[in-house]
Amino acid sequence: MADKESRPVVVVTKSGNSGGLADLIKRTAAEKVGPEDTVLVWPNLVYIEFISMLAVAVLLLSLALYSPAPLEELASADTTPNPTKAPWYFLGLQELLVYFDPWLAGVVLPTMIIIGLVLIPYIDPNPRGKGYYTFSERKFAVLGFIFGLSLWYILIMIGVWFRGLDWSWYWPWDDPHIHKPAGAVKLVDLQVIIQNALNLSESPLVTLGRYGITLANLVTWALLVGYFVVGITIPFLFLRSFYNRLGFVRYNLTMFLFLAMLGVPLKIFLRLLANVKYVLVTPWFKI
Amino acid sequence: MNNLLDRVRENVTRTQVWKSIFRHGYPNTDANRALVMFSNVILHLHPVRVRRGALKIKFTWCLGGLTFFFFVLLAITGVFLMFYYVPDTRRAYNDIKDLGSVIYFGSLFRALHRWSAHAMVFSVWMHMTRVFLTGSYKPPREFNWVVGVILLVTTLVLSWTGYLLPWDQLALWAVTVGSKMAEASPLLGNAGPFGAELGMTVNNDVAFVLLGGTVVGQSALLRFYVLHCLGLPLITALFIAVHFWRIRKDGFSGPL
């Protein structure tokens, strides 16, 4: 039936449906994708989508029946729950509050993540690996992305499952109702560690308003700036082909974002292994 | 029996009513199967034909489509929940309680809304990961990746604004954590670097704009409600439209 109504089958493949039908047919012919390589979306693809939608709907319905939405006590500004946890998808950022001040953990780092994500297509000039899964053809891109993603998920899992009263570390077998003893560890700023180790003077060399710049403080500035300068220079010197592929602007953006991402676990290790509170202290901000 | 069903179908699809609605015959011929895709507003997001490889689920894992499905589910269950909810700090909590005890299917709809929201956040992340790993953001699709990142942000903000609405302890304090971070914004927050230098105080900084006050109270609840139910869904829907449109314009990257 319906043969009377039948029109020429319009083969639409890679391109969209911008122009008229004639345009479509012309473009399709140009792409040399014949009907033999392709299948009709109805029913082949529509049916897969429909089944996956149904499966997920069943899953959601079961979850909803099995575990209804929780409702705690009425909101009250007088009683602060302990611990106070953000929604799970923000717990990675909240976990960072242990190691960074709120302006960094809650504002600057998330902003850099978003800017970094937006920049990905513009700083990755590698033409290979488009439209298929591959690791060998784009090792740096895949490793960098997976590293950031793992960091994000690990921090979330710590926040969800390993943080309890007073945001202390709780193993699953610890009693969640008993407070952990307050840490005996005393955290020290990096500039104090340097000052004591090198026996540097505590009196400021220069004073800019509230900011008394000591020699040790200058050393911490040099270390932080040096981290980025050295990190950007080393691949430039020893992996020149990498630099050449990216060009000046892409290379510097990529390396800055990459080193900033690497800096997050580095600061965490400095805190955990060397009890460093801040690596850089100024009257306005501390890192 | 089959013969009878075929006869019924033929008679139905020949009627003026059927033709006025669908504009094509029953999709059991190639011509009509192509016309389905042309004449249906939702289905025409697809091309008429795809390469055989597109049927491989292991390429996309259906993640983008499922994210959209969660968005639609959230809109439907959200409208239902809006019938029973007033964003008033004296009422909101009890309205949510009523959903669990006196309203038919209230608990189910609320649970579905919550699980769909969690699922949407997660599937957006997984979709982004998939698109990265298949290199589908590479030219000419750079801008659609950017639209995707915008959608990631609106999804997170949608989820977060919805978190406050039940007005329980979880809601109040989760949002308090967030507003403390806003106060610590560099330049724009009263507690952030150079905030005080730029004249930021508790009642004119970015956290004040977000909450409509200095604490999480009635103004904050109303703001979050309006953003959650109206502002952000509109923005998200707009960018979803752009996202889908660009997929069709730029074409599929993989075996699709």
Nearest to A14 among B135, B172, B251 (CB): B251
Query: What's residue B98's pLDDT?
Result: 95
Residues B73 and B168 both lie in one domain: yes
**To the nearest whole angstrom, how far is the Cα of B187 from the nearest Cα of chain A?**
10
B256 in a domain, yes or no?
Answer: no
Residues B116 and B230 both lie in one domain: yes
Judged by a CB distance cut-off of 8 A, whether residue A20 touches chain B is no
Q: Average model confidence (pLDDT) for chain B? A: 92
Residues B233 and B164 both lie in one domain: yes
Query: What's residue A86's pLDDT?
Result: 86
Contact A86 B43 (CB under 8 A): no
With a CB-CB cutoff of 8 Å, which residues 251-280 of chain A face chain B?
A: none
What Cα–Cα distance (Å) separates residue A19 from each residue in A14, A24, A27? 14, 6, 10
Query: What's residue B59's pLDDT?
Result: 84
Query: What's residue A202's pLDDT?
Result: 83
Query: What's residue B149's pLDDT?
Result: 98
**To the nearest whole angstrom, how far is the Cα of A66 from the nearest Cα of chain B?**
9
| Residues making up chain A, counted from first to last | 287
Tell me which long-range contacts A216-222 makes (C-beta under 8 A, separation of at least 24): A216/A191, A216/A192, A217/A191, A217/A281, A219/A191, A219/A194, A220/A190, A220/A191, A220/A194, A220/A279, A220/A280, A220/A281, A221/A280
Query: What's residue A85's pLDDT?
Result: 87
**pLDDT tens column, B11-65:** 998 899 988 998 888 888 889 898 888 888 888 888 888 888 777 888 888 899 9
**To the nearest whole angstrom, how far is the Cα of A280 from the nearest Cα of chain B?**
14
**To the nearest whole angstrom, how far is the Cα of A2 from the nearest Cα of chain B?**
6
pLDDT at B245 over 80: yes
Ranges of residues in chain A with a pLDDT under 50 are 1-19, 29-32
What residue of B is the nearest CA neighbor of A125? B138
Which has the closest alpha carbon to B136: B14, B243, B212?
A: B243
B255 in a domain, yes or no?
Answer: no
Residue B190 has, within 13 A of its CA and on its CB side, a CA count of 12
Residue written as token pair 């180790």: A197
Judged by a CB distance cut-off of 8 A, whether residue A175 touches chain B is no
For chains A and B, CB pairs below 8 A equal 283
Average confidence (pLDDT) over B7-14: 89
**pLDDT tens column, A128-142:** 999 889 999 999 999
Query: What's residue A16's pLDDT?
Result: 44
Query: What's residue B159's pLDDT?
Result: 94
**pLDDT tens column, A11-60:** 444 444 444 555 555 555 444 455 567 888 888 888 999 999 999 999 99
Q: Which domain holds residue B26?
A: 1-49
Residues of chain B contacting A80 with CB distance shorter than 8 Å: 173
| Cα B113 from Cα B131, distance rounded (Å) | 26
Residues B42 and B67 both lie in one domain: no
Q: Which two tokens stand for residue A183?
A: 């840490």
Residues B6 and B107 both lie in one domain: no
Nearest to B48 among A41, A77, A81 (CB): A41
Residues of chain B contacting A114 with CB distance shorter than 8 Å: 149, 153
Would you place residue B238 in the very low, low, confident or very high pLDDT band (cuts 50, 70, 90)?
very high
What residue of B is the nearest CA neighbor of A281? B193
Residues B37 and B122 both lie in one domain: no
Judged by a CB distance cut-off of 8 A, whether residue A30 touches chain B is no
What residue of A is the nearest CA neighbor of B255? A131
What residue of B is the nearest CA neighbor of A133? B134
**pLDDT tens column, B96-140:** 999 999 999 999 999 999 999 999 999 999 999 999 999 999 999
Residues B59 and B144 both lie in one domain: yes
**To the nearest whole angstrom, how far is the Cα of A40 from the nearest Cα of chain B?**
4
Nearest to A1 among B10, B38, B185 (CB): B10
Judged by a CB distance cut-off of 8 A, whether residue A71 touches chain B is yes
The count of structural domains within chain B is 2
Query: What's residue A35's pLDDT?
Result: 56
**pLDDT tens column, B127-139:** 999 999 999 999 9
Percent of chain A with pLDDT over 70: 87
Residues of chain A contacting B27 with CB distance shorter than 8 Å: 42-43
Residues B178 and B130 both lie in one domain: yes
| ipTM score of complex | 0.91
Percent of chain B with pLDDT over 70: 99
B119 in a domain, yes or no?
Answer: yes
Query: What's residue B113's pLDDT?
Result: 97
Residues B206 and B94 both lie in one domain: yes
Residues B114 and B69 both lie in one domain: yes
